[in-house]
Each structure stands twice: as structure tokens, then as C-alpha cells.
Structure 1
Amino acid sequence: MSGNIGANIRRERRQRGWSQARLAREVCRVAGVQGEPVGRQEVSRWETGKRTPRGWLPFIAAALGVSVDALTAPQGPAESPLPTLADYLPADDPLAPLGARTGRRIGMEQVGDLQQRVHGLRLADDVLAGGDLIRPALRELRSAVMLYREGSHTGEVGRALLRQIGELGQIAGWIASDAGQHSEAEQIYRLGLSAARQAEDHTLAGNLAGSLAYQLSNTGREVEGIRLARAALDAAGTDAPAKARALYLDRVAWAHTKAGEVQPAIWALGEASEALDQDGAGSEAPAYLYWVDSGELQVMESRVYTELRRPLRAVPLLRDVLSRYDATHTRELALYLSWLAVALSDANEPEEAVAVAERVMSLSADVASERTAERVRIVLARLEEFHDIPDVRALLDGAA
């Protein structure tokens, strides 16, 4: 019975686009209790069948606007199962040992060296584009995989190597995607996901899955993007570090945005902000999430509102972000300016949009990034609506 109740609560909650935290608040409100005797973790226990609501059931039903019978009724025919991260592992095992491990002995010193190179590659990605980094990134990834497969090492060292391969897979996949090599990027992400799962690093696995979901959403595979982004969030659970959970929710927001699903996108943005507010209260975030902060969430919020064509919300957010942005990060600066150009076009400010677009094109000219090139094409296409305005026509003619 508890399994039916949990599944019914989860179904009703998701139909309303509510988070577990939102349902917890609504239940407390309906029950008229002070504080939060019911929290997100308690709702999670109900939904997974680990605990039966018992006395809370009438209040849950009232909060959801359904009868108690609707929550205790047997489930109907099972829906198609949602994908899990295991569905995205490579078909074979590219990390299988090459026969007996007879290669040189690998210790933590070699793992530390690899960790430094991975971090260096990540820092390089902050200021260089995918086209400049793709070769060294792939070279490092192949070397790390061969080190794991051929070397002799203890179980502890092996897991540490797998974590570094997973981290390297995430940044190398990101670099390949930025260079426009999407098929290669997908294979790299899947390899990294396999390494993270074998290392039992659920936070890293979620980061890799979210990165792949982001690419899928941006390359015309929006439905797959939503499924994978949500699978990453669900697999991480409520115990994931606050920064990681905020990042997963950001990816969910973007996936729904690209699919044109407004309410789920706005919900995920709000949940991402709530998650980041918990930073420091739970487990410590891994070092590779150094860039996830309130400013990064503001960037995603502004992009979501731009994509949803709500310029009155997007333009102030983007101006605020850009006023504080590091000008040495040329690619990101060009990308964020491109969103501002589009938002200004939607706000019927074509002259301002042209001025921003000119800066986007100037910054993008020397950046070997397919993402910035695609954004330039999108900006020019949006400005076509104002072709009769002299400034716009001059920009379009010059670009042609």
C-alpha cells in the first residue's frame, strides 16, 4: 500500500510542477502548523515508500487538491519507465583492463599529477575556446584511459584514477562540444559517465549527465535533453552537495526552456536558487564546481527569459551580469552579449541591439568556438525583422 501512496503522491506533485520542498510547505500550510515539521527529505521518504504518511495523508490530499482515495488507490498501468543514467553508458566497456595488469605500478603520486593536468585544462577552458583545446584535451583523455587500463594499482588508486578520467571526460566533452564536434563529445561524456559510476562518484556522474543533456537540448534533441537532465537530478538525490544540485536544476531549467515548456523551466530556476542557498549546510562541493555561484545562476535565469522572449526580465539581468563580468573570458563575454542583443531585439530596441551585435561579432572573430559562431547566426537572424532600419541593414549587409 505504501508503494502505491508514494507513487500517487509523486505523480500528483509532478503534474503540478511542484518540487518536493514546495509540497512540504503546502502540507504544513494546510495543516496549520508552525515551522517545518515536514521537509523535502520527508516527502522524498513518502514518495519512495520508505515511510508511510499516516496522519499526514489528509493534509497531503488537501494540499494537492485530491481525495485521500486518489492517493491510496492502486496504480494504473505502468507508464514507460524514465531513463536512468545507466541507459547512457557506452555499449561496451572502454575502461576494461587490457588482460592482466602487468604495466608499471601506479600510485597516488601519478593520480595527483593527472589531477593537476585536469584542473589546468579546466582553467584553460575559462579563457580559450574549444577549437584551441580539443587536441590537448583528447590527448590527455586517451593517456589517462591507457594509464588505468594498462597500469597496476590498488583498488583505492583505481577508483581515484576513474574519478580523474570522469572529470577529464566532462571537461574534454565540453571542449569538443564547443568546437562543434558533437558526436565526439557525446562519446566522451558517455565514457566519463562510465568512469564516474565505476568510481561510485554520484556527484560527478550527475555533472557528466547534465553536460550531455545540455548538448542534447542545444542540438535539436530537446526531449532527450529533458529526460537526461531529470535523470541526473533524480540520481543525485537530496544528499548531493548544494552547488551540484543547483547545477543539475539549472540544466533541467534549460532543457525545458529549449522545449518551450515555460512553467517547468521557471520552477527549476527557483529550485536551483533554493538549493544554492543551502551551500555550506551539507556535504562539501567538489573543487571542479568552483564556478557555480549566484552569478552563474543569474546568467542562466537571464538566458531562460531571453529564450522565452521575456525581454523585460532578461535585459536588466544581462546588463547586471555583464557589468561584473571578467573581460578576459572572451568566449563567455561574446555569448552573454549575444543573449543581450536578442533580448534587446525582442524589446523592440533594434539600434541598441545592433551596437551589442557589433561587439559580439568583433569578439567572436578570433574565437575558435562553434557556440559563438552559432550565436552570431542567431543574432543576425533575429535582426532580420528590422531590416528596413538603416543601422540594422548596414550590419546585415556587412555580415553578408
Structure 2
Amino acid sequence: MTDLGANLRAARDAAGVSLSAMAARTHYSKPLLGLLETGKRAIKAEHVSAYARALNISVETLYGPRDDPLRVAHEWLVADNPVEVHSAAGRRVGAGLAGELEHRVIELRHLDDVVGGRDLLPVVHQELVAAQRVVNDASYTEGTGRRLLTVVAELAQLTGWVAGDAGHYAEAQRVYLSGVSAARDAGNPALAGQLLSSLSYQIANVGDPADAVLLARSAVKGAEGRTTPVVRALLLERIAWASARARDREGTQRALDAVDDAYARRSEGIEEPEWVYWLDRKEIDVMAGRCLIESGDPLAAEPLLSGAIAAYTPEHAREVALYETWLAESYARAGMFDAARDTVDRARKTSQGVNSTRLDLRIASVESLLPG
């Protein structure tokens, strides 16, 4: 509601129309228009239509982008999955270029382990734009097209993740949703689920956790029967986290149990996509610990977090510092403030030189729990 009101005001300001003049054009009172634009009164369809007529613009312009995550998730679930061959007049590319791009995605993904989002975002964004240009402008075989679309979807997931780490949440959402389309066209439902569940994770942290739960469940449902064990464990983790943020303790525990079951089914005979290389037992323990804190059981989280932190090597400074903030929060919520203060100080020291907005916000959030 606030966003739509802001859109109404922005459109009026852009047209150079005062609130008094707008009242005359729409025949609504000036006080009412002020309440609509500040989100203090419910905006109805007739209000939007009145603004569109008065300013000679489209209704769609006032409503803003139509890429609502839950709508996109629904469309993904019900849509067919044909491979669309994107060809245009341009240079024909082959499997060689597709292979090079696939290798580059892996390099960038592993670079995210050691480089903060604010530093890495320009690099991955540039790579995504370049890959999209190849898909849109070049010509290629159906098989190469499938590989190129997969590259675009994987780069969209990485770019969205890095953008979120840098604090650019709207950009992250836009990129995630564009990646869903590419993954669907590539015939890769597991990757589409990864993109939607990544967006769910962001929404659980900075938006409405209830929406995040729906989105995470949509990701699991849409990829059901077409995921490997570790991929399924990852998608289920996102349900667990969103449920914890939504204060659904039973839903959180069910999801965590399902994560353990899925991960236990992995085997050397099942090839996992490279983009789940990082999900191992210690990462699952970290998520379980975080969910325990959100669910009001901080003492049970401490051994899970401490064990995972000890297993990390120093070059993974951002992850170590992030997990130290969760450990500090577990102490703070258990009333162990000296231990919490020592741990968050250690996280701050670990985070020096890591340009991650997500990490900065976590440290500030934990420090706000400490007395004095």
C-alpha cells in the first residue's frame, strides 16, 4: 500500500501537478489524496484510474513492476517447460563458448566464498549481462541453447545472491525472477527451484516471512521428483528458515527433519549440480542452529554453531564472521552477555576488509541485543 501511494505521488510530482490541482482534476479532496499518497488510506482501483486519467499515463505505470514473487512462482508451477531456442541474426556460437561460460560461472561462484558482495557485484553483473547478450543475439543449436540458458540462470542466481549480500534487495529480486524464466526455458526445474528458494531466503530476512514460506514451498513443489538429494536438502532448508522466521516451530522442525532425510540419501552414484558444492553437514548444522535461535532455544544452538565455525578455514572470513554473529546471538538470547560481547567482537575483527552489507547488518543487530 505504501509503495503504491508513493507511486501515485511520484507520478504527480513528475508531471508537475500540485496536490490542489490534482484534487481539481480528480474531484477527490486534497486531504484524501494526501492520505492515499502516504499509504494511510486504502487505495482502490478507481483512485488509480483517476490518477492515470488526470496525468495521461497508463494504469500499469502507477502499479509498478508486475514481477511479484508469488505470482511468478505460480506461473512457473503451471507453465509448460519447452526449451525455447533463442536465435537471432548474429554470430553462430557453439559448444566451445558454452563450456567456457560454464567454467566461468564456477569460478565466480567460488569467488563468492572469499569476496564480499559490494566488491563482487559489478563483476558478476557484467558476466550476467554478457551471457544474456549471447542468448539474445547469437544463433546456436538447441543443445547449445539449453546450456547457455542454464548459464544465464546460474549467473542470475549468483548475481541475486551477491546483490542481496550488498544490500541491493530490489535488484536481487529482479535478477532472481529473470533467472527463473531462463531456467524454465532450459528445462531445469531444480535450478528454477534454487532461484525461487534463494529469493525466499531474502524475503524471510528482509520481507514478510509468510510470503517466504509460500515461495519456498512452491520451489520444492515445482521441482518435486526432479531433484537430487543434496538439492532437495537445500530447498528444504529454505522452508525451515522461512518457517523459523514466521515463528512456526512445528513447521521448522518438520523441514529440518526432511533436510536430514534428504541429505542422508546422497551417494557417489548420484551426480549433484556444481552449485550445491558448499552444502555439507556443517552448513546444515549452522542452519539448524539458526532456526533454534529463532524458535527460542538458543542454548541448543551453541554446539552446532561452534562446531561449524571451528571447521572453517580463515579465507572464508565472511562465513566465519556471519556464523560468529549467530553464536553471539545465541549467547545474548540466553542471557550470557559477556560471552556474547566477546563473540561479536571476534566477528567484527574477522569481518575487517569484507565488504558485505549483510554482515555489517548482522553485527549491528547482535550488538543491539547487548546491554550498555
Please report the TM-score for the alignment, with normalisation by the length of structure 2. Answer: 0.77
- After TM superposition, give the deviation of residue 293 of structure 1 in Å: 1.6
Q: What amino acid maps onto 1:118 in structure 2? A: V
Q: Pick from 149, 158, 171: which aligns with 2:136?
A: 149
Q: Which residue of 2 aligns with 1:217?
A: 204
User: Given that residues 85 and 228 in structure 1 are in contact (C-alpha distance below 8 angstroms), is that contact kept between their aligned partners in structure 2?
Assistant: yes
SS of 1:303's equivalent in the other structure is helix
User: Given that residues 84 and 235 in structure 1 are in contact (C-alpha distance below 8 angstroms), is that contact kept between their aligned partners in structure 2?
Assistant: no
SS of 2:113's equivalent in the other structure is helix
SS of 1:366's equivalent in the other structure is coil
Q: How many residues align?
A: 298
Q: Which residue of 2 aligns with 1:191?
A: 178
CA–CA separation in structure 1 for the residues paired with 2:99 and 2:326: 39
Q: Pick from 198, 201, 222: which aligns with 1:235?
A: 222
Q: Deviations over 1:328-382 (max 9, x none)?
A: 1111111000001010112221111111111112223421111101101111111
Matches within 5 A, 1:41-120: 85-87=73-75, 101-120=88-107
CA–CA separation in structure 2 for the residues paired with 1:84 and 1:161: 22
Unaligned segments of structure 2, at least 5 residues: 1-69, 78-82
Unaligned segments of structure 1, at least 5 residues: 1-81, 90-94, 388-400
- After TM superposition, give the deviation of residue 307 of structure 1 in Å: 1.9
Q: Which residue of 1 aligns with 2:9?
A: none
CA–CA separation in structure 1 for the residues paired with 2:188 and 2:363: 38
User: Given that residues 256 and 288 in structure 2 are in contact (C-alpha distance below 8 angstroms), is that contact kept between their aligned partners in structure 1?
Assistant: yes
Q: Which residue of 2 aligns with 1:64?
A: none
Q: Which residue of 1 aligns with 2:118?
A: 131
User: Given that residues 96 and 149 in structure 1 are in contact (C-alpha distance below 8 angstroms), is that contact kept between their aligned partners in structure 2?
Assistant: no
- After TM superposition, give the deviation of residue 87 of structure 1 in Å: 3.6
Q: Which residue of 1 aligns with 2:345?
A: 358
- After TM superposition, give the deviation of residue 325 of structure 1 in Å: 1.5
2:151 is equivalent to residue 164 of structure 1: yes
Q: Pick from 319, 322, 342: which aligns with 1:332?
A: 319
Matches within 5 A, 1:284-299: 284-299=271-286
2:361 is equivalent to residue 374 of structure 1: yes
Q: Deviations over 1:76-114 (max 9, x none)?
A: xxxxxx86724479xxxxx9999x611111101000111
SS of 1:382's equivalent in the other structure is coil
Post-superposition, which runs of at least 4 consecutive aligned residues in structure 1 deviate over 3 A?
86-89, 95-98
Q: What amino acid maps onto 1:297 in structure 2? A: I
Q: Pick from 238, 260, 265: which aligns with 1:273?
A: 260
Q: Pick from 155, 168, 172: which aligns with 1:181?
A: 168
| Seq. identity, % | 37
2:341 is equivalent to residue 342 of structure 1: no
Q: Deviations over 1:27-56 (max 9, x none)?
A: xxxxxxxxxxxxxxxxxxxxxxxxxxxxxx
User: Given that residues 84 and 186 in structure 2 are in contact (C-alpha distance below 8 angstroms), is that contact kept between their aligned partners in structure 1?
Assistant: no
Please report the TM-score for the alignment, with normalisation by the length of structure 1. Answer: 0.71
CA–CA separation in structure 1 for the residues paired with 2:73 and 2:329: 35
User: Given that residues 254 and 265 in structure 1 are in contact (C-alpha distance below 8 angstroms), is that contact kept between their aligned partners in structure 2?
Assistant: yes
Pairwise CA RMSD: 2.0
CA–CA separation in structure 1 for the residues paired with 2:269 and 2:193: 17
- After TM superposition, give the deviation of residue 132 of structure 1 in Å: 0.6
CA–CA separation in structure 2 for the residues paired with 1:283 and 1:201: 17
